[in-house]
Amino acid sequence: MSISRHQAVGAYQRWTPQDFGAPDEAGPAQETAAAAEPEPVAETPEPAYDLPPDFKLPTAEEIERMHEDIRNAAHEEGRREGHEAGLAAGLVEGERKGYEEGRTRAEAEAARLLSLADRLDQSLAEIDREVAEELMALAIELARQMVHDTLQLHPATILDTVRAALQQLPQGHAQIRLHPDDLALVREHMGEQLSHAGHRLQEDFGLQRGDCRIDAQGAQVDATLETRWRRVLESLGREHARFSPADDGGEPAADSTGAADGEATDTGAEAAADAGDGSPADGRGDTA
């Protein structure tokens, strides 16, 4: 195959001899510098956006206004969250304080009601005592009126009084002192019996209807209404109230100083003298 002249020129390269004057160390340094150079990084192309034809970038005022809107929105959000958190905390604290205040008021109200209940109990007890006292006074007054009416309607009850009084004395002669009206009644119904037993009847204007005093052998039995009435009241725990059945204008009750009914007491020589002689003294009339 034949080669043209032009082809032969392009197929050969001029030879240049190596420069032996340069130091041998230059070779490694050049290799190190070449190795230290970073490889070029391929740049990533920015994505292309399809923007509308009328798109305009915001101005500085618009950017500032957007920043202000963002700050306001963040401030409002923070205020709202803080308000909600404050409401929740305030609700818990309010419930606790409300519970404490309600319990305190309830305890105070309960104490007040207990105090009222105690005072009510005391008032009711006082009313009960007053009612009981009034009922007792009424019962005593009714009993007094019944005794008075009995003496007026049934004067013969003096006979039972004389018999009961004589049973309290030992056997012996006795002097029986009575109101003049009662003495006549006793003489009519018991005169013979008393005379046979050696007893004497004596009228005493110091006594009232229903009274009876008996003296025998230095002892005395006081069977006056005043004494018997006092014994009844003392058994009821009441203070002594004077018995006066003569409310219709009769004689007032005489002050009784003798012993209680059923008790015999020594009256000394005076009682013995009264029992021994029959002479009238101090308005008293002696009758057999």
Q: Kindly report, residue by residue over 137-168, the tens digit of the pLDDT.
A: 888 888 888 887 888 888 888 899 899 888 88
Percent of the chain with pLDDT over 90: 10
Mean pLDDT of 49-72: 79
Mean pLDDT of 98-112: 89
Structure tokens at 38: 């970073």
Residue 264 has pLDDT above 50, yes or no: no
Percent of the chain with pLDDT over 70: 64
Alpha carbons 254 and 224: distance in angstroms, whole number: 9
For residue 77, how many other CB atoms are within 10 A of its CB? 10
Q: What is the distance of C-alpha 7 from the center of its chain?
A: 138
Lowest mean pLDDT across 6-15, 57-66, 79-88: 6-15
Q: In the sheet where 200-204 sits, what is the strand order?
A: 265-266, 219-222, 212-216, 175-178, 200-204, 284-287
**Planar angle of CA 256, 258, 259, nearest 5 degrees:** 130
Answering whether pTM is above 0.85, one says no
For residue 180, how many other CB atoms are within 10 A of its CB? 15
Lowest mean pLDDT across 25-34, 108-117, 172-181: 25-34
Strands 175-178 and 219-222: unpaired
Residue 57 has pLDDT above 80, yes or no: no
Cβ(244)–Cβ(252) under 8 Å?
Answer: yes
Alpha carbons 107 and 100: distance in angstroms, whole number: 11
pLDDT given for residue 42 in this prediction: 59
Strands 284-287 and 265-266: unpaired
pLDDT given for residue 268 in this prediction: 32
Residue 274 has pLDDT above 50, yes or no: no
Mean pLDDT of the chain: 73
pLDDT given for residue 184 in this prediction: 92
Mean pLDDT of 177-194: 91
Domain ranges of the chain: 68-129, 157-248+255-287
Residue 199 burial by Cβ neighbours in a 10 Å radius (0-12, 13-18, 19+): buried
pLDDT given for residue 41 in this prediction: 59
